[in-house]
Amino acid sequence: MNKATNDMRYLTFALCKGRLANKTLELLEQIGITCEEMKDPSSRKLIFINEELKLKFFLAKGPDVPTYVEYGAADIGVVGKDIIMEENRKVYEVFDFGFGKCRMCVCGPATAKDLLQRHDMIRVASKYPKIAKDYFYNRKHQTVDIIKLNGSVELGPIVGLSDVIVDIVETGSTLRENGLDVLEEICPLSARMIVNQVSMKMEADRIQRLLQSLKEENREK
């Protein structure tokens, strides 16, 4: 990245807390964007600044990342495609990082396969009610009862709350250990870069240069 000039405004990144943020920071470092301050695990600071490149970074809960980007509190966000789909904010999705790969699936006991094929009125538990609704209503044209959960969604069919779940499958081990299967695949997921719609125009040069560097770095791998 080129050194910034003094009259430049800060370009602000909102990163999804956790593994995705660490992977993103590693990749940014490879293209010359570092933020030393952020590496201190004991720090309670919420916002980190790279003065030289005029960049700011902050960590946020996944579902809040598209919100910060839509409202322009962050120019750029890095977050999973699952969250982008669920939040459905007015942002541009511009880059697929290719890490954080997993799948959004309908899962349940093998016996639930028949219920899906017959288009029965079933109960679907999910942390992603909008994705579940869109899949069943608009793609499958099946009326279902969607129940929002906040985690450990696999419990749904096990304790009799729901017939199936709509959830993320990465290695598949949570399903296996709980006697559940993937019954239908909704879509592949991975970490994506999103950009505020105004920033995309006002900061076009800097954002395009950043995208170019990321693409080149990913190609070299």
| 63, 109, 129, 172: residue in contact with ligand PRP (rule CB under 6 A) | 172
Q: Does 174 bind ligand PRP (CB under 6 A)?
A: yes
Q: Measured from the CB of residue 177, what is the shortest distance to ligand PRP in angstroms?
A: 8
Q: From residue 78, how far is each of 11, 164, 178 by CA, in Å?
A: 14, 30, 31
Minimum CB distance to ligand PRP smaller for 178 or for 213: 178
Pair of tokens at residue 88: 């459905």
Here's the x/- map for ligand PRP, 126-145, by CB under 6 A: it reads as -x------------------
**CA gap 43, 104 in Å, rounded:** 34
**CA gap 13, 78 in Å, rounded:** 8
Q: Does 159 bind ligand PRP (CB under 6 A)?
A: no
Q: Does 21 bind ligand PRP (CB under 6 A)?
A: no
Q: Does 170 bind ligand PRP (CB under 6 A)?
A: yes
Q: Does 91 bind ligand PRP (CB under 6 A)?
A: no
Q: Does 153 bind ligand PRP (CB under 6 A)?
A: yes
**CA gap 61, 125 in Å, rounded:** 22
Q: Does 5 bind ligand PRP (CB under 6 A)?
A: no
Q: Does 83 bind ligand PRP (CB under 6 A)?
A: no
Query: What is the binding site for ligand PRP (CB under 6 A)?
Result: 127, 151-154, 167-174
